[in-house]
Structure 1
């Protein structure tokens, strides 16, 4: 038996029971809730609903443990084993988008460059879809893994993502709307950074002044150190300067 699992599960169950007592939840309401969860599972939306309401809390817990760049939501659209790339993420030729360069330096909390770190980068298409998830976008597009050079630097070309709605017609979207909330996420870039001996960092970078950065439906954008990148262009190309700082792994 895992004492940690027992401790967490017992607390969750006690909290739910206390809420049911406080709000005098009836059998009819309880059954309606169970049916909702059943349908949610059948439609494959449990990860989506969980990310909307709970992922940001787990992220904040982690941010209290590790120094350096703040963690952020991984999201439901991460896929392992993205192709390794050198300087360009593959995009669709028939989908127009603003050219973008993602670049930066990876350092330790002591300021030392981290060479040979692996950055797994993924983001939406210029029309708000994810490769390998949505129809018509091959899995090897809009995703890629790049290795930092001897100076801990990286640079890749891609196209700029846009804000998008989470599935608003699904059960998660319907619940958000029932509660008076919207279903939009700001444009963002996901980065997962790995290097032996360092804590694996999963974060997002957002566009300064972009729509929905002030009220992200998933609470991914927080006000204390999350990556919001100032608008910058060079030769008509949007530049995202994303420097990341890794902390040592807690053993």
Structure 2
């Protein structure tokens, strides 16, 4: 009788949403209700556990600020962000691989010219980045917008520093007439995601580490092409096989070309030596 009444309750709830005017919203709500009810039945969810879940999600919401999005972090560590990204790019044959946006993207990254340095005096081994942006038929994409961001040498992003520190290690560029872009920055290290909140508590309870492998974020947009959100991961580093947010794809792992101390070809003095990162991006045509 209990199983019958449980199923009947789910049916009654679904019936109340059957007349949702928007067909896509109706589909999503119906599936969400079906799977949530099924999850509760399958696990034998208790009232105390349900209350714990509500309290956890409340804490996640309370941790969200203008500079921190704990819900994105939660989605990331559960693998949902990567799953949605994979589903959303099912038909992106031939395009460069995508990965998650992450919680540290900002809309108003500073505009920088080609060959600029976006390190703003941050310490670290200089990194020379050279990328080419092409369309699906291999044609260069001039004037493509390329937004770049990554962590500092301590594993922190600029927006994690004290208010008033300003933006650094991020920039908005445009490719040249050949679809090429060059800039200087520093070589980023692996870093832990913010684990001082409920998401960190969840990782601790699950026996998981909070670390991400070293990487540089890219968001690339060009007219008549689908915007690409991706990372380039530095080959040979730690955590490539255990990224806390499941973002690594083998095609995005790039070995650096390492140089000893001296002057770079463009005349930059690099007493620590410098690294070079090169990659060819391909954008899919927009639907």
**Structure 2 counterpart of 1:21, from 18, 24, 41:** 41
1:28-76 C-alpha deviation (Å, 9 max, x unpaired) = 1111111111111111222211222211001111231213101111000
1:177-233 C-alpha deviation (Å, 9 max, x unpaired) = 21121110011100000111000000000001111011100000034x3x1111212
> Residue 14 of structure 1: CA displacement?
1.3
- Aligned partners of 2:118, 2:165: CA distance in 1, in Å? 10
> Residue 137 of structure 1: CA displacement?
7.5
- Aligned partners of 1:232, 1:62: CA distance in 2, in Å? 33
Aligned twin of 1:64: 90
Aligned twin of 1:148: 175
Count matched residues.
Answer: 247
Aligned twin of 2:59: 39
Check whether the contact 1:130–1:137 (CA below 8 A) recurs between aligned residues.
no
Aligned twin of 1:167: 194
Matched, 1:210 2:237: yes
- Which protein has the larger Cα radius of gyration, Structure 1 or Structure 2? 2
Structure richer in helix, relative to its length = 2
Matched, 1:109 2:146: no
Check whether the contact 1:109–1:247 (CA below 8 A) recurs between aligned residues.
yes
Query: TM-score, normalised to structure 2's length?
Result: 0.82
Aligned twin of 1:91: 119
- Aligned partners of 1:6, 1:124: CA distance in 2, in Å? 41
Check whether the contact 2:118–2:183 (CA below 8 A) recurs between aligned residues.
no
Check whether the contact 1:104–1:243 (CA below 8 A) recurs between aligned residues.
yes
Query: TM-score, normalised to structure 1's length?
Result: 0.93
- Aligned partners of 1:79, 1:144: CA distance in 2, in Å? 10
Q: Which has the higher contact order (CA 8 A, sep 6+)?
A: 1
Aligned twin of 2:102: 75
1:68-90 C-alpha deviation (Å, 9 max, x unpaired) = 10111100000012111112243
Gaps of 5+ in 2: 1-20, 65-69, 265-272
- Taking a change above 3 Å as real, the CA distance of residues 89 and 16 of structure 1, as seen in their structure-2 partners, is farther
Matched, 1:239 2:259: no
Aligned twin of 2:75: 50
